[in-house]
């Protein structure tokens, strides 16, 4: 089978399976490798140590699939509804997390595409990956002609904007590569840089993840720095601001994928109910959604910060419950949040907790909260 016919067949099958974008790139050292190394050296990855731990593996796709010669880069549109109004006591969730876990859906399609490839060439080595392998996906997507890397560091496509997931099918067979997208089509636009709530976009094409709300609400495993908490606003999980203001996202199509439709309780989320969830309840509600990643402790920490930023009459009861949680991370966030309330019940809960609290960080948060009285 020729490289041309294999590439054509794989792309056709990818579209049949429901992928919205498909382009072929060579297996090579990614052009942005040194920039990635400098980004890590600057400390911008924060606690995402898994990136630095595997930095050498990013040097070439052969570390993902031995003998790889070609990469079929794929995109899946996830734009569905518009964000619902958060309102009092409710928290925003990033669009990509409104429905089912995209990993499950895309992995299933990749397995079918890999099986199709093996039927065409039984001796081929094939592997499908979705953002968990050490592969510079955005770099290879650009090489495959799927888009350019925007000033907000997202891959941008002329048709889909940046509302799409990336995936890759690596093969030991040669593919006919598409023309790469050279340069950027962002022009002089600064919308994403100017709109970032925390100033995480320190410059065009450079993100300090330590200040990014998506990092703070999803990847960070400890307390959010006090100076950044008010800047999170009503965002419970992730942040779409830099995408929402991007001109390329204004006229993008809506996906037909039903699994990405917002669940009734994720766009937005009622925060008070979260504090009533034990581990089993949290698992039942979020296990097969992206909100599972920060686990219960991370989501409750985030919920407390939102309720501290956006006080409601009903919130102190839920925060008071969180102040008694087994997780110190949750108790600390609830202490900070209760410190934003003048409600006597909030102060009473803090005083009672301080009398029995043994964790130093939680005690510090309670004592700091009293300073707001």
pLDDT tens-digit map of 281-295:
999 999 999 999 999
Are 275 and 151 within one domain? no
Question: What is the CATH classification number for the domain harbouring 331?
Answer: 1.25.10.10
Are 155 and 24 within one domain? yes
- Domain ends where: 153, 171, 189? 171
In a domain, 230, yes or no: no
In a domain, 181, yes or no: no
- Domain ends where: 112, 142, 171? 171
Structure tokens at 57: 């593996």
Are 28 and 158 within one domain? yes
The pLDDT value given to residue 343: 87
What angle (nearest 5°) sits at the alpha carbon of residue 275, between those of residues 281 and 258? 55
In a domain, 299, yes or no: yes
Spot the catalytic one: 104, 115, 131, 348: 131
What pLDDT digit, counting tens, does each position of 239-272 carry? 999 999 999 999 999 999 999 999 988 999 999 8
The sheet with strand 126-129 has its strands ordered as 21-26, 70-77, 164-171, 126-129
Which residues does 174 contact at the CB level (< 8 Å), separation at least 6? 3, 6, 69, 70
Total domains, the chain: 2
In a domain, 231, yes or no: no
- Domain ends where: 111, 146, 171? 171
What pLDDT digit, counting tens, does each position of 184-198 carry? 999 999 999 999 999
User: Rounded to the nearest 10 degrees, how much is the dihedral formed by the CA atoms of 253, 98, 336, 87?
Assistant: 70
- Supply the range of the domain harboring residue 9: 3-82+98-171
pLDDT band at 85 (very low <50, low <70, confident <90, very high): confident
Q: Is 265 a residue of the active site?
A: no
In a domain, 145, yes or no: yes
Are 288 and 159 within one domain? no
- Residue 168 DSSP label: E
Beta partners for 21? 75
In a domain, 76, yes or no: yes
């Amino acid at each position: 089978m020729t490289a041309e016919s294999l590439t054509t067949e794989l792309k056709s099958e990818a579209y049949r399976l429901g992928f919205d974008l498909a382009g072929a790139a060579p297996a090579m050292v990614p052009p942005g490798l040194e920039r990635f190394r400098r980004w890590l050296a600057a400390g911008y990855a924060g606690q995402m140590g898994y990136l630095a731990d595997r930095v050498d593996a990013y040097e070439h796709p052969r570390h993902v699939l031995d003998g790889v010669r070609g990469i079929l880069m794929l995109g899946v549109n996830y734009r569905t509804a518009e964000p619902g109004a958060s309102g009092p006591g409710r928290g925003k969730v990033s669009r990509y997390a409104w429905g089912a876990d995209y990993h499950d859906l895309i992995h299933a399609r990749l397995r079918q595409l890999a099986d199709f490839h093996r039927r065409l060439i039984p001796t081929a080595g094939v592997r499908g990956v979705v953002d968990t392998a050490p592969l510079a996906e955005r770099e290879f997507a650009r090489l495959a002609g799927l888009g350019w890397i925007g000033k907000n560091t997202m891959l941008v496509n002329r048709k889909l904007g940046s509302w799409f997931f990336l995936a890759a099918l690596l093969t030991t067979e040669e593919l006919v590569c598409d023309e790469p997208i050279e340069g950027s089509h962002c022009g002089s636009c600064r919308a994403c840089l100017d709109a970032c709530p925390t100033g995480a976009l320190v410059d065009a094409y450079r993100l300090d993840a330590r200040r990014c709300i998506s990092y703070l609400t999803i990847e960070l495993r400890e307390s959010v720095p006090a100076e950044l908490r008010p800047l999170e606003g009503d965002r419970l999980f992730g942040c779409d601001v830099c995408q929402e203001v991007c001109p390329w996202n204004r006229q993008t199509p809506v996906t037909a994928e039903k699994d990405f439709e917002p669940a009734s309780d994720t766009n937005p989320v009622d925060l008070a109910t979260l504090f009533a969830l034990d581990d089993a309840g949290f698992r039942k509600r979020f296990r097969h959604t992206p909100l599972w990643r920060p686990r219960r402790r991370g989501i409750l920490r985030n919920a407390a910060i939102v309720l501290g930023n956006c006080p409601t009459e009903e919130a102190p009861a839920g925060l008071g419950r969180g102040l008694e949680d087994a997780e110190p991370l949750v108790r600390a966030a609830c202490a900070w949040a209760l410190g934003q309330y003048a409600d006597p019940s909030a102060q009473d809960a803090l005083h009672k907790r301080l009398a029995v609290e043994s964790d130093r960080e939680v005690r510090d948060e309670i004592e700091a909260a009293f300073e707001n009285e």
